[in-house]
Amino acid sequence: MRGLLRSLLPTLLLLLQPWETQFQFAGPRCRTGPLDLVFVVDSSRSVRPFEFETMRQFLVGLLRSLDVGPNATRVGVIQYSSQVQRVFPLGAFSRREDMERAIWALVPLAQGTMTGLAIQYAMNVAFSVGEGARPPEERVPRVAVIVTDGRPQDRVAEVAAQARARGIEIYAVGVQRADVGSLRAMASPPLDEHVFLVESFDLIREFGLQFQGRLCRKDLCAEGGHGCQHQCVSAPGTFHCACNPGYQLAADNKSCSAVDHCSFGNHSCQHECVSTFGGPRCRCREGHDLLPDGRSCQARDLCNGVDHGCEFQCVSEGLSYRCLCPEGRQLQADGKSCNRCREGHVDLVLLVDGSKSVRPQNFELVKRFVNQIVDFLDVSPEGTRVGLVQFSSRVRTEFPLGRYGTAAEVKQAVLAVEYMERGTMTGLALRHMVEHSFSEAQGARPRALNVPRVGLVFTDGRSQDDISVWAARAKEEGIVMYAVGVGKAVEEELREIASEPAELHVSYSPDFSTMTHLLENLKGSICPEEGISAGTELRSPCECESLLEFQGHTLGTLESLSQKHILWG
Give the model confidence (pLDDT) of 341-396 as tens digits: 554 588 999 999 999 988 898 899 889 889 888 887 888 998 899 999 999 999 99
**Shared-domain flag, residues 372 and 321:** no
**Shared-domain flag, residues 377 and 335:** no
Range among 14-18, 149-153, 393-397, 512-516 with highest mean pLDDT value: 393-397
Residue 536 CB neighbours (<10 A): 11
Domain end position, chosen among 184, 215, 246: 215
Give the range of the structural domain holding residue 45, as residue numbers without chain letter.
Answer: 35-215
**Shared-domain flag, residues 109 and 192:** yes
**Shared-domain flag, residues 157 and 83:** yes
User: Looking at residue 164, what is its pLDDT?
Assistant: 95
Domain end position, chosen among 341, 362, 394: 341
Minimum mean pLDDT range among 247-251, 396-400, 437-441: 247-251
Question: Alpha helix (H) ranges present in 138-215?
Answer: 157-165, 180-186, 191-194, 204-215
Would you give the end-to-end CA distance of the chain in angstroms? 126
Give CA–CA dist 260/238, Å, rounded: 30
Question: For the residues 100-124, what does the mean pLDDT come to?
Answer: 93
Give CA–CA dist 385/368, Å, rounded: 18
Give CA–CA dist 537/546, Å, rounded: 12
* Closest of 419, 443, 429 to residue 356, by C-alpha: 419
Query: In angstroms, what CA-CA distances link 435 with 42, 310, 346, 397, 429?
Result: 80, 38, 18, 12, 10
**Shared-domain flag, residues 333 and 352:** no
**Shared-domain flag, residues 367 and 332:** no
Give a yes or no: residue 254 inside a domain.
Answer: no
Question: For the residues 459-478, what does the mean pLDDT come to?
Answer: 92
Range among 363-372, 466-475, 518-527 with highest mean pLDDT value: 466-475
**Shared-domain flag, residues 356 and 443:** yes
Question: At 374, which CATH number?
Answer: 3.40.50.410
Partner residues linked to 40 by β-bridges = 78, 146
With H, G, I as helix, E, B as strand and everything else as coil, classify residue 11: helix
Question: At 334, which CATH number?
Answer: 2.10.25.10
Question: For the residues 252-281, what does the mean pLDDT come to?
Answer: 81
pTM: 0.39
**Shared-domain flag, residues 411 and 335:** no
User: Looking at residue 340, what is its pLDDT?
Assistant: 63
Question: For the residues 39-61, what does the mean pLDDT come to?
Answer: 86
**Shared-domain flag, residues 459 and 439:** yes
Contact between 220 and 239 (Cβ < 8 Å) = yes
Partner residues linked to 239 by β-bridges = 234
Give a yes or no: residue 158 inside a domain.
Answer: yes
What order of strands is seen across the sheet that includes strand 84-88?
A: 84-88, 73-80, 35-42, 142-148, 168-175, 195-198
Give a yes or no: residue 266 inside a domain.
Answer: no
Give a yes or no: residue 267 inside a domain.
Answer: no
Query: In angstroms, what CA-CA distances link 423 with 126, 426, 427, 477?
Result: 49, 9, 12, 27
**Shared-domain flag, residues 57 and 133:** yes
Give CA–CA dist 562/569, Å, rounded: 10
User: Looking at residue 299, what is its pLDDT?
Assistant: 78
Domain end position, chosen among 320, 341, 362: 341
DSSP letter string over 55-84? Answer: HHHHHHHHHTTB-BSTTSEEEEEEEESSSE
Domain count, the chain: 3
Contact between 77 and 85 (Cβ < 8 Å) = no
Arithmetic mean of pLDDT over the chain: 80
- Band of pLDDT at residue 157, cut at 50, 70 and 90: very high
Give CA–CA dist 207/366, Å, rounded: 73
Contacts of 76 (CB under 8 A, 6+ apart): 36, 37, 38, 39, 86, 87, 88, 89, 90, 92, 126, 131, 132
Q: Which residue has the higher pLDDT, 31 or 120?
A: 120
Q: Helix 49-63 and helix 2-16: axis angle, to 10°?
A: 10
User: Looking at residue 389, what is its pLDDT?
Assistant: 96
* Closest of 173, 174, 179, 124 to residue 153, by C-alpha: 179
**Shared-domain flag, residues 354 and 335:** no
Give a yes or no: residue 360 inside a domain.
Answer: yes
Give a yes or no: residue 13 inside a domain.
Answer: no
β-pairing, 313-317 vs 320-324, is antiparallel
Read off the amino acid at residue 77.
V
- Band of pLDDT at residue 497, cut at 50, 70 and 90: very high
Give a yes or no: residue 554 inside a domain.
Answer: no
**Shared-domain flag, residues 336 and 412:** no
- Band of pLDDT at residue 80, cut at 50, 70 and 90: very high
